[in-house]
Chains A and B, each alone.
Chain A
Amino acid sequence: DSGVTQTPKHLITATGQRVTLRCSPRSGDLSVYWYQQSLDQGLQFLIQYYNGEERAKGNILERFSAQQFPDLHSELNLSSLELGDSALYFCASSVGGVAGNTIYFGEGSWLTVV
């Protein structure tokens, strides 16, 4: 168990809908990362927050947004969902923003868009 908690574990929703994925980082970790894993795209970095502030942005679509709250949990909002958004979404956390910090992954949230 990495200590990173993600909910929900599985989610099925229709095209055009909006969903929110939630992440609680490991105790003491200030950085939260979101990744998308799909068969054709591999593991894609979406966005990173450090202590409530956006720190780095990757291949995140405009339909997606995220935030990190004062208690350090994070939410990833996915809107106007398309079939191609079906994927495994991972949250990860690390102690801080130093490049050598290890990031620890949650078990992921399986999103299926039908």
Chain B
Amino acid sequence: AQSVAQPEDQVNVAEGNPLTVKCTYSVSGNPYLFWYVQYPNRGLQFLLKYITGDNLVKGSYGFEAEFNKSQTSFHLKKPSALVSDSALYFCAVRDDNYGQNFVFGPGTRLSVLP
């Protein structure tokens, strides 16, 4: 079965500094990887996804993620953090052997300090 780990519950970064939110996954087939962001009392918003092709994926709000098959990782990055990026970030995976089920990681709370 597929699984997702986000090893950090909380990430703190100063405004203007680069940020990284880590994600590792386990699947039996080919992975389809997603990042979502959740602001307080809101639904999850889609940021970006990796399906195939270029390992560096660019998404909304200046975020990007790098797919690394050998390390089974899909870390979310942004070159310069904004205070408004403070939110809860979820990594998710779908396994093409399991088709429909999205599995979400536990979430990482990002705090960008002014």
Contact across chains for B43 and A56 when beta carbons are under 8 A apart: no
| A108 close to B (CB within 8 Å) | yes
* 28 A–B pairs (Cβ distance < 8 Å), ordered by A: A2-B43, A4-B43, A31-B100, A35-B104, A42-B104, A43-B90, A43-B104, A45-B101, A48-B100, A50-B100, A97-B99, A97-B100, A99-B32, A99-B94, A99-B95, A99-B99, A100-B32, A100-B49, A100-B51, A102-B34, A102-B46, A103-B102, A104-B46, A105-B43, A105-B44, A105-B45, A107-B42, A108-B43
B residues whose Cβ falls under 8 Å from a Cβ of A: 32, 34, 36, 42-46, 49, 51, 90, 94-96, 98-104, 106-107
Count A interface residues, CB 8 Å: 25
Shortest C-beta distance, B93 to chain A (Å), equals: 10
Please give, as numbers and ranges, the residues of chain B lying within 8 Å of A35 by CB-CB distance.
Answer: 104
The distance in angstroms between the C-alpha atoms of A20 and B103, with both chains bound, is 25
User: How many residue pairs, one in A and one in B, have C-beta atoms under 8 Å apart?
Assistant: 58
Given the known inter-chain contacts A33-B102, A56-B99, A102-B49, please indicate yes or no for A90 contacting B43, CB distance below 8 A: yes
A55 CB-CB contact with B under 8 Å: yes
Q: Which residues of B contact A107 (CB under 8 A)?
A: 42-43
Complex interface: chain B residues within 8 A of A103 (CB): 46, 102
Q: Is A58 an interface residue (CB 8 A)?
A: yes
Given contact pairs A43-B90, A45-B101, A103-B102, a sample of 9 additional A-B residue pairs in the complex whose CB atoms are under 8 Å apart: A2-B43, A35-B104, A45-B104, A48-B100, A55-B100, A99-B94, A100-B51, A100-B94, A107-B43
* Interface SS of A by simple majority: strand
Bound-state Cα–Cα, A66 to B107, Å = 26
The answer on a CB contact under 8 Å between B107 and A43 is yes
List B contacts of A90 (CB < 8 A): 43-44
In Å, the complex CA distance between A43 and B102 comes to 10
